[in-house]
Amino acid sequence: MRNPDLKISGKRFNLMKLPCVYAWLRGDEWMYVGVSTRGISRPLAYGHHAMSDFLDEDVLLIWRFRKEKSALDFEQELIKEKQPAKNVAGIEGDLAKARKSNYNRHQCERCGADFYTRTKWQRYCSPICRFKDWNENHPRKSEQVVISVND
């Protein structure tokens, strides 16, 4: 039987599901910084818009957080400090400057952050804001069980 290529303990597996900030580096150049509320599933996603040309020699850095807000704040700090080339909504890198001409600048309806839309109907800066707005405006109805007793 072939030995597994990767062995992950339960503790590490559960840590990988926490909110995180991830950064893609190519040599000394910061290519992209992103945030995920579902752990490392986002940077590993097959269809990730910015990470499609990840090379064997590239590096992925990951910072884990217990709270989404902390992860979001840290992501913005990193984008401002490192100015990654592929971050469209952050500080302008070379690719971002070229792409922004195709987008409209808007203000997020939930948090008020400025961002560049990818579609003409986009109203929120991130899925987190969209989900939080949905949950606030569509409260879950608690299930009530009514039992009638006939005498």
Using CA atoms, how far apart are residues 32 and 62, in angstroms rounded to an integer? 12
CA-wise closest residue to 42 among 23, 58, 27, 70: 23
pLDDT at 24: 93
Count Cα neighbours of 63 within 13 Å in the Cβ-side half-sphere. Answer: 17
pLDDT at 135 over 60: yes
**Domains within the chain, CATH numbers bracketed:** 10-101 (3.40.1440.10), 103-137 (no CATH)
CB 118 within 8 A of CB 108: no
Q: Per residue in 45-57, pLDDT tens?
A: 877 777 778 899 9
Using CA atoms, how far apart are residues 2 and 53, in angstroms rounded to an integer? 30
Using CA atoms, how far apart are residues 81 and 98, in angstroms rounded to an integer? 20
Q: Per residue in 13-45, pLDDT tens?
A: 988 899 999 999 999 999 999 999 888 888 888
CB 32 within 8 A of CB 51: yes
Lowest mean pLDDT among 41-45, 104-108, 146-150: 146-150
